Structure 1
Amino acid sequence: MATLTVRNLPDDVHRALRLRAAEHGRSTEGEVRAILAEAVKTPEPRRLGDALAALGREVGLTDDEITMLEASRDRTTAAPVNLD
Structure 2
Amino acid sequence: MKTQMMAPTREPMLVPRQAARRLGISVSLLHKLCAAGTGPVRYRYGKKVVFRQADVDAFAERHRVAPVTSALSNDGGEA
TM class by shorter chain equals: under 0.3
Q: Max radius of gyration: which structure? A: 1
* Greater share of strand: 2
Q: TM-score, normalised by structure 2?
A: 0.27
TM-score by length of 1: 0.26
